[in-house]
Structure 1
Amino acid sequence: MSQLQHITSRDNPVLQRLRKLSQDGGAYRKLGSVWLEGDHLVRACLQRNYPVTLAVMTEAAAQDSVLRALADAAPRQLVVPTALFKTISGLESPAQIGFEVPHDAAQRIDPAVDTVILDRLQDAGNVGTILRSAGAFGFKQILALKGTAALWSPKVLRAGMGAHFGLRLIEGLGPADLDGLQLPLIATSSYAEKQLHQLSLPRPCAWVMGHEGQGVQAELMQRCRLTVGIPQPGGEESLNVGSAAAICLYESARQRLTVA
């Protein structure tokens, strides 16, 4: 049975920890846990049977049978006034419920599963969008090189819309760490001879998505077996990396469904 506790002090050590998690995008690496705010992320977490250590809800949420049922999944629950919940919120319009979940930084690379490699992507929205596309199109592993936005930061979590809980996420890597992959690496390039729709894409594979301004670094591009172009008949110079990723991952998924 869940342990329920009412908190009214801003200086409560648990709330101080959650405040750090909500305000510092990389705090989860030091503290070993992640703050999920809002019923959408909470539901996504539970649907994937992701472990939960703590639920925090407002006094109003504690009276709501639906939100209270979500909180019952946690072994420990805190009930706080709405004003106090706002102090641990990263949202302009604070939610009514949140979970603290453990962060596992010790996962190993799966050498043979469909993968997306993120090369120093800076924008949290782009990173979260790519995670969501990866989950939608059956790519189960995300490998982030050093310099990429923190994968479990609040902004990436919100953009990912729950995709995190169905993915293997590994970050802080260098190009050499990818040498153990038993997959062909594919990158997009405006100089590629072949366009995406003209190729039979390898399966499984690892798509490489590069820095928003600089693209894929040379050391990583050298490891790519294949480069492809995305046709842009409208004449734009380039696509947003989140859009490019969605197109590439969709084409991989489409070809597999066609063959099947």
Structure 2
Amino acid sequence: MTLLHITSKDNPVLQRLRKLSQDGGAYRKLGSVWLEGDHLVRACLQRGFPVTQAVLTEAAAADPALRALAEAALRMLVVPTALFKTISGLESPAQIGFEVPHDGGQVLTSGLDSIVLDRLQDAGNVGTILRSAAALGFRQILALKGTAALWSPKVLRAGMGAHFGLRLIEGLAPADLDRLGVPLIATSSHADAQIHRIALPQPCAWVMGHEGQGVQGELMQRCALTVGIPQPGGEESLNVGAAAAICLYESARQRASE
């Protein structure tokens, strides 16, 4: 492992990391992802993801536990705390971060329980859905064009490490889902079938639509089933992250009872 001490904010490596932390889609061009904080760093290591380099503050370098995490990287960069803040995307900067390679090479795999994200805009919603997916056994995420960048710093933080246990495919069109080979299910407040009173197909793909516009027509036409989520409190609709958690839980519950 190579150990370097950096004190210049103009260092090319730090300039690239600033781009990754400040531009949500920069990973697509630069081919790497910035993970900030020990929680994401640990999740990455637990799943065996390769680490190009670790960046840590001088204080973190003196902490045995954080330094041990950094030693998993091919290269360790130690910087002053003030310099680490210039590459941080957090209001309260962490003490450690990883740069990991990203090639975007995962492809849609047929026959898997999946979640389709149809132009979801809010990074918090996307990350929340990824966390629910990882927890409830849905391992493939299929993001249609117009969805928030899955590996952006905001989605990574909301996902809390879920990314590293999922297959994440971006930039799809509705027609690409024809290769999935499992029934698509959408939710609708107008559906006659209630989610807890119908046998859900296994495996399946839950479709989660745009926060304001819902599921686009071309995609809704591909859905084999629409179901309703009971809302006895009388609200018009649920947040998409909450709706996704309910849908995935019901699929998992029915699978476990078979």
Alignment length, in residue pairs?
258
Identity of aligned residues (%): 82
2:34, 2:117 → 1: CA distance? Answer: 23
SS at match of 1:209: strand
CA deviations on 1:63-96 (whole Å, 9 max, x unpaired) are 0000000001001000000000000000000000
2:15, 2:187 → 1: CA distance? Answer: 44
Counterpart of 1:257? Answer: 256
Counterpart of 2:127? Answer: 128
2:78, 2:92 → 1: CA distance? Answer: 18
- Consecutive aligned runs of 4 or more in structure 1 exceeding 6 Å deviation: none
- AA at the equivalent of 1:24: D
Listed as ranges, the matches of 1:1-260 within 5 Å are 2-259=1-258
Shift of 1:50: 1.1
Shift of 1:175: 0.4
Q: What stretches of structure 2 of length at least 5 have no aligned partner?
A: none
Shift of 1:57: 0.2
Shift of 1:107: 1.2
2:165, 2:237 → 1: CA distance? Answer: 30
Q: What stretches of structure 1 of length at least 5 have no aligned partner?
A: none
2:199, 2:43 → 1: CA distance? Answer: 34
Shift of 1:258: 1.0
- AA at the equivalent of 1:183: V
CA deviations on 1:84-133 (whole Å, 9 max, x unpaired) are 00000000000000000011212110111110000000000000000000
CA deviations on 1:215-246 (whole Å, 9 max, x unpaired) are 00000000000000000000000000000000
2:205, 2:214 → 1: CA distance? Answer: 16
**Once superposed, what is the RMSD of the aligned Cα atoms?**
0.5
CA deviations on 1:20-39 (whole Å, 9 max, x unpaired) are 00000000000000000000
- AA at the equivalent of 2:157: R
Shift of 1:12: 0.4
1:106, 1:41 → 2: CA distance? Answer: 21
TM-score, with structure 2 as normaliser: 0.99
CA deviations on 1:185-206 (whole Å, 9 max, x unpaired) are 0000011111000111111100
SS at match of 1:169: strand
2:202, 2:91 → 1: CA distance? Answer: 42
